[in-house]
């Protein structure tokens, strides 16, 4: 699919479908839109009236234009209230335009949307919205089903009024390449996405984009004392992989950052086995690692002036005669001991050793991200991720990066007295505390494995997946947090 940034007026554009954004309760056609409607034989006014289109956010209508017109289809996209418009509203509108045009079997699409902030930021958001909405992961379907879904592909998208914004469009496309990778990793079932194949994916990213990579095998992890990570890996027949990708810019980096993603390619719960209704979707428990690798791909394409370390301790949490038991005591690589009172709280154990590793790199800040707790989903729902940090600067950077990327976060409290619930009789701490405040105690647990580096924790358990199409996210994995991470690095 090719993007063109052009200055052609709406009146003069020609192609299969022209999509126009209209604000809520501002659908009366005036000025050049009235002229365009006249040129189209009144089709735009007619489709607005017939469908009682009000311009509400997420709404769209389309109509075929009569013969002889330079435009085959006209599409109206609702932008919502003008004073409530956000950058993600532009992204959503572009995605709606793309999906509508594809459903109408259009090959060329012209998009006319208002500028939000500045032209470059808007053009980038439009490109992201189109690419995200049209991405379809059909790898595991039969060839006949794949061919059905590939019908009506859009070949060209023109951004009207955005001439000169080619670099911004390219940046949006580069970021979306990372989102696509994250989606596909999370969508893949656990019999194809394993610790071994995840390490191979990391190696492929490093090779293609000239990044440094270090993959620690089990023996290497043992030498580093990663008892928490390796405790989780005990029951799996597949070897654990500790992945460390490094992007280094030419010259002196402006700053150095580390991103640590939880990488459980399948989580059975261990001996505290999950029940039906929860275990079926546990292929997605590596959503943090997927976003980390997606960000690595995007950063490899963009090549900013920031050094970035991408880290994931990857394994399965399985059941066998070798499995860790409830009550076992593990020793993490910083010497702290952990009593395992729930084998299904395994992600924080793998993150513990990964955070100790990242903390020793001498970076300016660390962010970890994980599908960590159901408690966070209970608190914030499916659309919003939790953010914990003792550092206001890092927290505010991530909130701003998420706002720009259209990904929602809510800063949660790190209530130190809640750590009392994690204290153990025979070890330094337990891996879970009381049910109340479960996502907070999970964050407090992770905090024990970062010494001096500014740090933030993102619990992305809710928004990493959607059961049905939602905006520019098709059903399945959303690739959540990739845009936030890339924006954070670039900020």
Q: What is the pLDDT of residues 310-327, one digit of tens each?
A: 999 999 999 999 999 999
- The answer to whether residue 199 scores a pLDDT higher than 90 is yes
Provide the token pair at 389.
Answer: 């940090």
Exposure letters 229-250 (e unless 16+ CB within 10 A, then b):
bbbbbbbbebebbbbbbbbeee
Residues 409 and 402: beta-carbon distance below 8 Å: yes
Catalytic residue among 56, 86, 107, 274: 274
467 is in an annotated binding site: no
Catalytic residue among 180, 348, 408, 430: 348
Separation of alpha carbons 26 and 20, rounded Å: 13
Beta bridge partner(s), residue 71: 15
Residue 277: pLDDT band (50, 70, 90) is confident
Separation of alpha carbons 373 and 378, rounded Å: 9
- The answer to whether residue 308 scores a pLDDT higher than 90 is yes
Residue with tokens 């012209």: 110
344 is in an annotated binding site: yes
- The answer to whether residue 402 scores a pLDDT higher than 80 is yes
For β-strands 337-339 and 263-267, DSSP reports them as unpaired
Instruction: Note the pTM of the prediction, 2 decimals.
Output: 0.97
For the question of residue 241 being annotated catalytic, the response is no
Separation of alpha carbons 458 and 397, rounded Å: 13
The CATH class for the domain spanning 174-490 reads alpha beta
Separation of alpha carbons 266 and 157, rounded Å: 39
- The answer to whether residue 149 scores a pLDDT higher than 80 is no
- The answer to whether residue 191 scores a pLDDT higher than 90 is yes
Scanning 119-266, the segments in alpha helix (DSSP H) are 119-134, 143-150, 166-187, 195-209, 218-223, 227-233
DSSP 405: H
339 is in an annotated binding site: no
Q: What are phi and psi of 470, to 5 degrees?
A: -145, 105
The structural domains of the chain, with segments of one domain joined by +, span 2-136+154-160, 174-490
pLDDT (average), residues 158-187: 98
Same fold, 2-136+154-160 and 174-490: no
> How many Cα atoms are found within 13 Å in the side-chain-facing hemisphere of 232?
36
Residue 367: pLDDT band (50, 70, 90) is very high
285 is in an annotated binding site: yes
Going by C-beta distance under 8 Å and a sequence separation of 6 or more, which residues neighbour residue 67? none
Provide the token pair at 47.
Answer: 């489709």
pLDDT (average), residues 261-271: 98
**What percent of the chain has a predicted confidence (pLDDT) above 70?**
100
Residues 304 and 195: beta-carbon distance below 8 Å: no
Query: Which of 53-62, 245-254, 274-283 has the weakest average pLDDT?
Result: 274-283
267 is in an annotated binding site: yes
For the question of residue 348 being annotated catalytic, the response is yes
In sequence order, what DSSP letters do the residues of 7-52 get, joined into one string?
Answer: ---TTT--EEEEEEEE-TT-----HHHHHHHHHTTTHHHHHHHHTT
pLDDT (average), residues 148-152: 72
CATH 3.40.50.10420 fits 2-136+154-160, yes or no: no
Residue 148: pLDDT band (50, 70, 90) is confident
């Amino acid at each position: 699919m090719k993007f063109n940034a052009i200055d052609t007026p709406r009146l003069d554009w020609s192609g299969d479908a022209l999509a126009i954004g209209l604000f809520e309760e501002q659908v009366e056609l005036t000025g050049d839109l009235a002229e365009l409607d006249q040129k189209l034989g009144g089709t735009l006014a007619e489709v607005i009236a017939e469908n009682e289109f009000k311009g509400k956010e997420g709404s769209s209508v389309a109509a075929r234009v009569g013969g002889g017109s330079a435009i085959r289809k006209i599409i109206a996209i609702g932008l919502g209230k003008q004073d409530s418009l956000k950058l993600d509203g532009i992204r959503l509108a572009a995605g709606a335009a793309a999906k509508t045009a594809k459903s109408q079997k259009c090959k060329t699409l012209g998009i006319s949307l208002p500028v939000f902030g500045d032209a470059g930021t808007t053009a980038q958001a439009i490109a992201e919205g189109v690419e995200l909405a049209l991405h379809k992961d059909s790898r595991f379907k039969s060839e006949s089903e794949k061919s059905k879904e590939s019908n009506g592909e859009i070949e060209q998208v023109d951004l009207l009024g955005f001439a000169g914004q080619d670099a911004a469009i390219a940046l949006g496309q580069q970021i979306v390449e990372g989102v696509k990778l994250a989606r596909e990793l999370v969508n893949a079932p656990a019999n194809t996405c394993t610790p071994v194949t995840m390490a191979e994916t990391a190696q492929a990213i490093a090779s293609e984009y000239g990044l440094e990579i270090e993959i620690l095998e089990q023996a290497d992890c043992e030498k580093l004392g990663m008892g928490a990570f390796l405790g989780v890996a005990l029951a799996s027949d597949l070897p654990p992989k500790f992945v460390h990708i490094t992007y280094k810019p030419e010259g002196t980096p402006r700053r150095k950052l580390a991103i640590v993603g939880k990488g459980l390619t399948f989580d059975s719960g261990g001996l505290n086995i999950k029940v039906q209704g929860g275990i079926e979707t546990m292929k997605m428990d590596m959503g943090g690692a997927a976003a980390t690798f997606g960000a690595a791909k995007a950063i490899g394409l963009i090549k900013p002036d920031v050094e970035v370390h991408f880290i994931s301790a990857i394994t399965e949490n399985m059941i066998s005669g070798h499995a860790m038991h409830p009550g076992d005591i593990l020793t993490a690589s910083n010497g702290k001991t952990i009593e395992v009172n729930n084998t299904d709280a395994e992600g924080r154990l793998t993150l513990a050793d990964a955070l100790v590793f990242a903390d020793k790199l001498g970076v300016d800040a660390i962010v970890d991200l994980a599908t960590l707790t159901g408690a966070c989903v209970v608190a914030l729902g499916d659309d919003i991720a939790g953010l914990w940090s003792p550092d206001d600067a890092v927290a505010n950077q991530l909130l701003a990066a998420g706002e720009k990327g259209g990904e929602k976060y809510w800063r949660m409290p790190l209530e130190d007295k809640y750590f009392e619930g994690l204290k153990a009789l025979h070890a330094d701490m337990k891996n879970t505390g009381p049910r109340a405040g479960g996502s907070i105690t999970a964050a407090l647990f992770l905090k024990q494995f970062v010494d001096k580096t500014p740090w933030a924790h993102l619990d992305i358990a809710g928004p990493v997946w959607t059961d049905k199409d939602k905006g520019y996210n098709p059903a399945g994995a959303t690739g959540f947090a990739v845009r936030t991470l890339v924006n954070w690095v670039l900020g």
